[in-house]
Amino acid sequence: MFFPSGSSTTDAWYYAACVRYQDEIFHPHHLLYNLLGYVFCLLPSKAGIDVLASLKVLNSLFAVSALIVIQRILRMLGYDRILMIVVTCLCGFSFSVMRYATENETYIVPLFFAFAASYSLLQYFRSGEDKSLLSAAVWITMAVLFHQVYIFWWIGFFVSFILAGKKRPLLIYLFISLSGPLVYLLVIRNVRGDLQLSTITDFILGDLREGGNMNTGGKGMIFSIINLFRSYVQVHGYIFNLIKSNILYVIPGIVAAGIAAYSLFGLPLKAEKVSDPRFAYTHLLIIILQFIFAALASGNAEFMVMIPVLTFILVPLFTRKCERFFVAVLAGIAVWNISYGLIPLHYKSDAPEQFLCGEAFSNSGIIVVASDDQLLRNMLYYQTGVTDIGNIYRSPANMRIKGLDPATLVDVIDDALASGSTVYTDCTGPAAVSRASITEGRMNEAFFRIYELIPVRTWPSAMGTRTVFRVMRKM
């Protein structure tokens, strides 16, 4: 809430635009998120408060609420006061939670509902009362309605009821869960006008067919492992840029590494008996299912947001004498993620993108070849209400990755230069090591070798220098 992301993601701008202009209020993958955002922003927007900023506050509030629910779960699991506080803080300081709690993304709100469901499920395991079972079914259905990826949390509960071998709770769970598909059908009827099978499947699975990126190859698995690690602690190439800009930035890393080394002397011991085994194994299954799906989705980090939180909750159930270890891990993670995650991302500037947006919108004759064309379109959509101004093009690397021929971009640039139009790009120049830089390699640099690139504006920062170039014919 106090350190929101200073440079929002492509999706964050788009969701904010949808809320601001009441467009695509119901998105199939996160059906109710934009609706919640719209309701939440009604009063702040009338008071002149920025919609995007308000939505970041919304996510922060739900993150805090999720931690409160987690603390109740820990108390019911019998954790002592110190361990309960440490585990709750670990959940909050994990990078996946910290990252999305300070951004307008769709992963924190359903996380709250999922843990509310787990709390009710634990109550049901303890009491056997129908009201707890009903609450668990309602909460987990809400989680899925706020993001489809939480269907694997729902499946974890479902498997638990099957293995218990009792029909009545399983039938109650399934009956209450039917409210989720019913909500989808009501929305589809309202948005698309009919309930034909093709309409339903197009609404629910359309984005997957058009832009889904499922990858079971070696590179996808590598990204999966890296992003799994990143869900605990921030790992990004800009950290090296921070250290290059000021050697003092190495201090948090040394401190965190020292604490991590110290924690190895207090590794928890394996418990003779798993505490609350039904709860523990249900949520262990959820971790496995979520990771498998994230791995199939090219190691998508967003789909792993719940994994570190569930891990920290479950470890004490499978081990003993873990307090000393967890205290050290908490100290290391807090120092690292605040120093290299929360604060740098808060101060990260989107000035280069804002410059390109301003130039492209002010003059339709200007051509922009953008490293992230969709980001610029979404920023302009949010700022102007125009979905596509028509003069922003994707990078050559992005075209090649999408299976398109970059040669068509040569025609666009050459025609623009022949007519005296200005062409800008931010596709070249030094870039921090990231998933995008690894995937794209040197494709953009190779493409622009046939042109002369003149620096127009440069934005130096501790996270790395950004430059916008003007594309000219080679003399």
Asked if residue 5 belongs to a domain, the reply is no
pLDDT the model gives residue 423: 92
Mean pLDDT of all residues in 231-242: 89
Cα–chain center distance at 386: 25
Nearest-5° angle of CA 443, CA 447, CA 453? 115
Does residue 328 surpass a pLDDT of 80? yes
User: Quick one: pLDDT band at residue 322, thresholds 50, 70, 90?
Assistant: confident
Q: Are residues 343 and 382 in the same domain?
A: no
Q: Are residues 186 and 59 in the same domain?
A: yes
Asked if residue 3 belongs to a domain, the reply is no
Q: Are residues 342 and 387 in the same domain?
A: no
Q: Are residues 293 and 391 in the same domain?
A: no
Asked if residue 1 belongs to a domain, the reply is no
Asked if residue 205 belongs to a domain, the reply is yes
**pTM value?**
0.92
Asked if residue 258 belongs to a domain, the reply is yes
User: Quick one: pLDDT band at residue 211, thresholds 50, 70, 90?
Assistant: very low
- Among 45-54, 417-426, 427-436, which stretch is predicted with the lowest mean pLDDT? 427-436
Mean pLDDT of all residues in 61-78: 96
Q: Are residues 326 and 409 in the same domain?
A: no
- Among 114-118, 175-179, 414-418, 463-467, which stretch is predicted with the lowest mean pLDDT? 463-467
**Of 306, 302, 310, whose CA–CA distance to 281 is shortest?**
310
Cβ atoms 452, 472 nearer than 8 A: yes
Does residue 145 surpass a pLDDT of 60? yes
Mean pLDDT of the chain: 90
212 or 147, greater pLDDT: 147
Buried b (16+ CB within 10 A) or exposed e, 397-413: bbbbeeeeebeebeeeb
Mean pLDDT of all residues in 182-206: 87
| Domain endpoint, select from 322, 347, 372 | 347
How many structural domains compose the chain?
2
Does residue 212 surpass a pLDDT of 60? no
Does residue 14 surpass a pLDDT of 90? yes
Q: Are residues 414 and 317 in the same domain?
A: no
- Among 133-147, 274-288, 400-414, which stretch is predicted with the lowest mean pLDDT? 400-414
| Domain endpoint, select from 325, 347, 369 | 347
pLDDT the model gives residue 394: 92
**Of 156, 60, 104, whose CA–CA distance to 302 is shortest?**
104
| Domain endpoint, select from 347, 366, 387 | 347
Neighbours of 35 (CB within 10 A): 19
Domain that holds residue 419: 351-473
Q: Are residues 327 and 377 in the same domain?
A: no
Mean pLDDT of all residues in 214-225: 71
Asked if residue 433 belongs to a domain, the reply is yes
Type of residue found at 95: F
| Most trustworthy range by pLDDT among 112-116, 200-204, 323-327 | 112-116
Q: Are residues 151 and 240 in the same domain?
A: yes
Q: Are residues 73 and 45 in the same domain?
A: yes
Q: Are residues 367 and 334 in the same domain?
A: no
pLDDT the model gives residue 214: 57
Does residue 206 surpass a pLDDT of 70? no
Q: Are residues 255 and 338 in the same domain?
A: yes
**Per-residue pLDDT tens digits for 220-231:** 788 888 899 999
In percent, the amount of the chain with pLDDT more than 90 equals 61
Cβ atoms 18, 34 nearer than 8 A: yes
Asked if residue 299 belongs to a domain, the reply is yes
Mean pLDDT of all residues in 255-269: 86
User: Quick one: pLDDT band at residue 465, thresholds 50, 70, 90?
Assistant: confident
Buried b (16+ CB within 10 A) or exposed e, 380-395: bbbbeeeeebebbbbb
Mean pLDDT of all residues in 134-155: 96
pLDDT the model gives residue 79: 93
Asked if residue 4 belongs to a domain, the reply is no
Using DSSP's 3-state secondary structure scheme, residue 428 falls into coil
User: Quick one: pLDDT band at residue 197, thresholds 50, 70, 90?
Assistant: confident
**What distance in Å separates the CA atoms of residue 7 and residue 361, rounded to the nearest whole number?**
20
pLDDT the model gives residue 301: 84
Q: Are residues 433 and 336 in the same domain?
A: no
Mean pLDDT of all residues in 71-97: 95
